[in-house]
Structure 1
Amino acid sequence: MKRIFNWLFILPALISFQMMGQETVLSKEEAVKAALDYNYGIKISSNRVEIAENNQSIWNSGYLPSLTGLAGASYDINDRNTEIQGEETIDQNNVENELYRGSLNVDYLLFDGLGRYYNFKSLKEEYHLSRLEARETVENTILQLMSVYFEIARLYENIDVLAESMQISRDRVVRAKYQYEYGQVNNLAVLNARVDVNNDSINLLQARQQLNNTKRDLNVLLDREMENLSYMVDTTVTFLPMLQIENLIAQASENNVRILQSESSITISEYDIKVSKSGYLPSVGLTGSYGWNQNIGGPTAFFPGSTTSTTGLSAGVNLTWNIFDGGRTRIQTQNSKINNETQRLLKEQVELEVRRDIANALGTYENKLYIFHVQEENVITNLDNFNRTQEQYKLGQVSSIEFRQAQINLLNARTSLNLAKYDAKLAELEVLRLTGQLLNVEY
């Protein structure tokens, strides 16, 4: 039992000493940069943006002509019988015929009722929409990243608080031993002090385990080596002035990513209407061809074999007007108009939801910021109470139970302050995300 106690007594100090000597600091800026470079969700969204960028290029627009090369050859061998009235039948065996051909054909759609024009503009707007969707992924990932990052910071500060509390308990064990040796207290005071040290040691070990687990969560977000735990984080937290936050909220309708996505979807639906209407207009196309043919024919009953070669250039204009297509164009146009109206309704819904979310997030942020300031005062009060109780304990004016309670109160106040600080910061980041400014501020 004594060996177990000594192990619990010494282990946290050894771990703390090793970590202090080995760990480097991973700053918030470095974590964000690593997420932008290596996070799987962001990589996937970047690939989707790249696909949309390819789709909106001139190579996918339909504005370029098509050039087709054709080539072919044929060979046949025949037996031929020619009967001439009053004369002998002419038999020809193994008569060979060869045909070689090649051509270059150019097709260009000169006018298609402006469908190609608006489809091209729609592809460009879809690229813009894909960038907004990628931005939304980045914002959500950064918010998730900072949540894990600040949890690591909170656990680091809690570990410091727990380590200080355990040191206080260790000093109390030493004091209790001296008091017992001089007959001032009984052995029960020593045992109680040792139990408190054991409890503090267990709490410290559990906090370290939770810290390592949370570090692994951060490593997954940053695509780092899973067992790379030898780093610390920045525990500094600053808050934006409320006036600046109010100004950002006033501009939320211009910067919120969901509202911008809705506007982009409306633009695409408007182009879809115009693309559908292009079916009412004719299309004009240009064609051109340059060809070469060679025909090597076998002899006939009246002519010897011959070789004929031809080359030629041709060009033409095609006009196509689908005067009636069974109503398909009419239905497509009607459906496109309905979809446009749907997108406008969705935008109104999104704007309403965003205003609600901002109001809720701002209220949550103000409450958590108030709780943080209250917890700061609470720590000052509990620290003063603990110092007074500690002095009285040394003078023998309060019991070890009262001293332990003051110690626990201070411990709880300090850990609650850590929690309130990072909760308030995350609430602020949520407000910034909703106003579309999360990527434009320092964390």
Structure 2
Amino acid sequence: MSPAPRLRARTLAVDVTGDLLTRIPDEVDPREVVAWLREGDGLVGWGCAAEVRTHGEDRFAAAERWWDELRGTAQVEDEVRLPGTGLVAFGSFAFSPGSADPSVLTVPRVLIGRRDGLAWVTQVVVEGEPWPPGHPVELLGRSNPHISTPDPLVESEGAVPASGWPAVISRGIDRIVAGEVDKVVLARDVVVRHDLGHVVRLAPVLERLECRYAATWTFAVAGLVGATPEMLVRLQGGRARSRVLAGTMRRANGIPLPAEPTTGPSDPRLHLVSSAKDLDEHAYAVRSVSEALAPHCTDLHVPEAPYVLELPDVYHLASDLTGTMVSGATSLRLAAALHPTAAVCGTPTDVAARVIGELEGMDRGRYAGPVGWMDGSGDGDWGIALRCGELAPDRRSMRLFAGGGIVAASDPEAELAETEVKLTAMRHALGLATR
């Protein structure tokens, strides 16, 4: 790993209204676009001032060592001083230590942020480089005219065709029934390619995700793009928070939930909160997160029962865990301690990870790994890379991923249907769902 460069960063308060994504220039390399958005606010940036790629069991620790060196020598001017200002790194980490896909921590050259009505622009240069000409506020006058136009794409089967997926699930159930593992999360992929062989642009994908899935966290890091409903960990001001999702039901025709639970058979809350399969799957996931957070937190609050989270395509059982930090760990170190949760791997973790490697037939890459950002204080947000796609090195194709938790009561055909529902988010974002 090469030494971290010496950087200069300056953050200025600005007035930003409207869609942050429209500021992304169309000519930017899509692998250098970064984003973390929810309900229209968050962070959007581009360019690369510094980057490190790591592999193996040491991928998290090596990235943090690099970040410690980088922030220790950086010169930072920050007149805003909010989470996400000053020097900020975006990260995306491989699910498996054995993945051929590198984990990435990157510092964008330009970052536009907005939070609670306050907005800022951060510019970063390598020591010895001049600041870009003009005032940073000039960046805010840009508007990408092509952001609402998706690229022409075609879809093909991934490592395992849809017709073969129920057989994979059946083999997973057999391993559970045999007592080898309690729960295993199995995922499949599909491939999309640009119909004309051009580079796939990420700004239109992010725009469609952010508009339709505003309640999730829309992200982009090093060519990985998606909208995750699952916050692995947020660390801010000494408080840690994690959202666990496990247990899924398709949402029919986008019909919203009634204000209060009903006793009718059509209310998904009644099904989810009474389904032994979904409750067992959720309990495994909550237990894995609480056990990982316990060494770092006091006053750890673990809800007694989950609630139902409503998303455009599905309903999830959800639990929000919170605690007060005492270990001094950064948000990245907490993410490393939590990964992989039972929600994306299974229980016991080591056995489930081995079963995944034997049954899925693919390298997950950075799918289901931690994705997010942290600032110079170590605070930040890290989600789980779900409802996402990863650009190929040539940037002309992308793999989309979807999976589900398998327990003894799982039905193979229903699990295939669940992956199809979860693929809807990226298919919509890529303009495929409307064709």
* Fold shared, TM-score > 0.5 on shorter chain: no
Higher helix content, 1 or 2: 1
Higher strand content, 1 or 2: 2
Structure-1-length-normalised TM-score: 0.18
Structure-2-length-normalised TM-score: 0.18
